[in-house]
Structures are given as structure tokens and as C-alpha cells.
Amino acid sequence: MSPGVPSLPAALDWDRVVSSVFVFEDYGELLSLLSSSIWAGALLGLVGGVVGTFVMMRDLAFSVHGIAELSFAGAAAALLVGADVVTGSLAGSVLAALVMALMGLRARESNSVVGVLMPFGLGLGILFLSLYQGRSANKFSLLTGQIVSVDPVQLTSMAVLSAVVLVGLSVMWRPLTFASADPLAAEAKGLPVRGISVVFMVLLGVAVAMSVQIVGALLVLALLITPAAAAMNLTASPVRIVVLSVVFAELAMVGGILLALGGSLPISPYVTTISFLLWLLSRAAATVRSRR
């Protein structure tokens, strides 16, 4: 998945780790590598921030986690059979999203469906990874995020997927808001509430598959929930929520990547920590404001 970065040894060897991370011989190439990663992070921040507001509004946090596990299974299967990992992860998450959308539309009913699908997905993924004989770095990156490495091909596919999600959400923005906030009234207004829900789940699946590439299946929530939740601590205005959520997601993603570049750790701990700190700050701000 990451041709630009040498694979890590299985056993911990600090000298090798450090020397394999700080590669300055071909600086021009590293820079182009770095800029793709930052662009990918920026795209992901934008998509995650926007999608997250609807995930929160529809109370789908648990579903996001479930979709991510099946996305992981899809990616692991692709790795095993030598197919494209992005395609595998996309297939897994869209399939999971569709099953959830068709089997249980509202949060309450769908929780059990998600609870059933999630361990199954995770188990499948672990099976595929155990059977996979390739590089160990790839194995971990699917679950916990990768070391900075997005190649231009990956960046292109992420840009296309981002466009699909953002255009899709723009088109159904108001009906989706209506159907999420007040499904009965929306249905009475003639909106295809069920169809809207299914389409949203597919777009959510795409967003999750993108996130799995960078932050890993287990940490997708840091991108798809935390920024939106932090934004909602600060305001109830839908426009301001989306703007703040995107700003927080960008801070976490791009900030996380920039920090991760300097060390030997994957991006994900940086992203999740920044994301969490922003949420804590927003929470504190909300508490202070409500005391006044």
C-alpha cells in the first residue's frame, strides 16, 4: 500500500526505525510524498467534518464503527487476494452500510444489526490478515492507521471519493436535515425518507472507507464523530456546526499528519489526541458558558 516508505522490521530496533523514518536522501521525492499526504488529510478532514454532523444528527456513531470493521474486512480480503486495498475497503463498507440501511433504519432498531455485523467483520478481517503472508506493516495499518504515505494514485482516488460524498450531501442537504430531525413531518411533506436514509448510508460507507485508509478502522470515530460533537458543544446553528466541525477535523487531520512526519509513529494517535483535546476544550467552553 505504501511503496514510498520502507517496511518496518517486526522486532523493535530503534536505530532502524529512526533511520527508516528520517529519510532525507531524496528530499524532493519526500516532499512530494508529504504533500500528497497532507492533501489527503485535508480532503479527509473536509469530508469527515461534514459527514460527521449528519452522523451526529442521525445518532449513527455505533453504525459508523460497525461499517469501519467491515471496511477493514474488505480491505484485508483485498490484501489477501492481491486486489486493490482501497477497492476492498470501499466494497466492505458500502456493503455493510447497505445492510444496515435496509435492515434497521433508525438508530434504535439498527443497533442490534450493527452489534451483530461488527464482530463478524472484525473476525473476518483478522482471519484474512492471519492468512496473509505479506508485509506486517500493512496488517496493522488497516486497523490503527498508517505511517504517512499516500501515493498520488491513492490521492486521486480519495479526491474522487470526496467529490462523490460532498456532491451527494449537497444535493440532499435540506431533505436529509429534515428527514434526520423530524422524519414524520418530512414524510408527510412527501420526502422519500427511506431512500434518503439508504443513500446517506452509502455516502457514509464511502467516507468511512476513505478514513480507514488513513486513520485505521478502529479510530474512524475520531474523525467522523469527535469534530462534529465538539462543534455541537459550541453552537446549535447548523451552518456554524458544519463550519466548526470541518475546522476541527482539519486541525486534527492536517495537524496530526504534520506532527506524525517528525516521528516514527502512525498518524492516528496524533489525530485522535488532537481531536479529543478539541472536544475537551469545546466541552469546557460549553460548561463555562452555561454557568454564566
Partner 1 sequence: MSTATRPVVSLRGAGLAFGDRVLWDGLDLDIRPGEYFAVLGGNGTGKTSFLKVLLGLLPLTTGTVEVSGEPPRRGSGRIGYVPQQRAFAASTPLRARDLVGLGVDGHRWGIRLGTRSVRRRVDELLELVGAGSYADAPVGTLSGGEQQRLRIAQAIAGDPELLLCDEALLSLDLHHQHAVSELVDEQRRRTDAAVVFVTHEINPIIEHVDRVLYLAGGRFRVGTPDEVLRGDVLSELYGTRIDVVRTGGRVVVVGHPDSSHHTHDDQEMAL
* Cβ closest to partner 1, residue 11 vs residue 184: 184
Considering the complex, state which of residue 1 and residue 241 has its C-beta at the smaller distance from partner 1: 241
Residue 245's Cβ-count burial label (10 Å; 0-12, 13-18, 19+) is: buried
User: Of residues 247-286, which lie at the interface with partner 1 (CB under 8 A)?
Assistant: none
Site size for partner 1 (CB under 8 A): 27
Asked if 162 contacts 47 with a C-beta cutoff of 8 angstroms, the reply is yes
Closer Cβ to partner 1, 81 or 185, answer by number: 185
| Contact between 164 and partner 1 per CB under 8 A | no
Q: Which among 91-99, 146-154, 206-214, 231-239 is the span making contact with partner 1, rule CB under 8 A? A: 231-239
N-term to C-term CA, the chain: 52
Pick one of 106, 153, 189, 289: the residue that binds partner 1 (CB under 8 A): 189
Q: Which stretch binds partner 1 (CB under 8 A): 35-43, 137-145, 199-207, 234-242?
A: 234-242
User: Is the Cβ of residue 168 or residue 263 nearer to partner 1 in the bound state?
Assistant: 168
Which residue is it, cell 526505525? Answer: 17
Q: Segment 49-88, which members bind partner 1 (CB under 8 A)?
A: 53, 56-57, 59
Question: Rounded to the nearest whole angstrom, what is the least distance from the CB of residue 197 to partner 1 in the complex?
Answer: 15
Residue 106 engages partner 1 in binding (rule: CB under 8 A): no
Applying CB under 8 A, among 186, 214, 219, 274 the residue interacting with partner 1 is 186
Stretch that binds partner 1, among 1-9, 113-121, 124-132, 171-179 (CB under 8 A): 171-179
Question: Quick check: 236 binds partner 1 (CB under 8 A)?
Answer: yes
Asked if 187 interacts with partner 1 (CB under 8 A), we say yes
175 contacts partner 1 (rule: CB under 8 A): yes
Interface with partner 1 (CB under 8 A), residue from 131, 237, 280, 289:
237
Pick the closer one to partner 1 by CB: 6 or 192. 192
Position of cell 460548561? 287
Three-state DSSP string of the chain = CCCCCCCCCCCCCHHHHHHHHCCCCCHHHHHHHHHHHHHHHHHHHHHHHHHHHHHHHCCCHHHHHHHHHHHHHHHHHHHHHCCCHHHHHHHHHHHHHHHHHHHCCCHHHHHHHHHHHHHHHHHHHHHHHHHCCCCHHHHHHHHHCCCCCCCHHHHHHHHHHHHHHHHHHHHCHHHHHHHHHCHHHHHHCCCCHHHHHHHHHHHHHHHHHHHHHHHCHHHCHHHHCHHHHHHHHHCCCHHHHHHHHHHHHHHHHHHHHHHHHCCCCCHHHHHHHHHHHHHHHHHHHHHHHHHC
Choose which of 3, 28, 82, 190 interacts with partner 1 (CB under 8 A).
190
- Binding residues for partner 1 (CB under 8 A): 53, 56-57, 59, 170-175, 177-178, 181-182, 184-191, 232, 236-238, 241
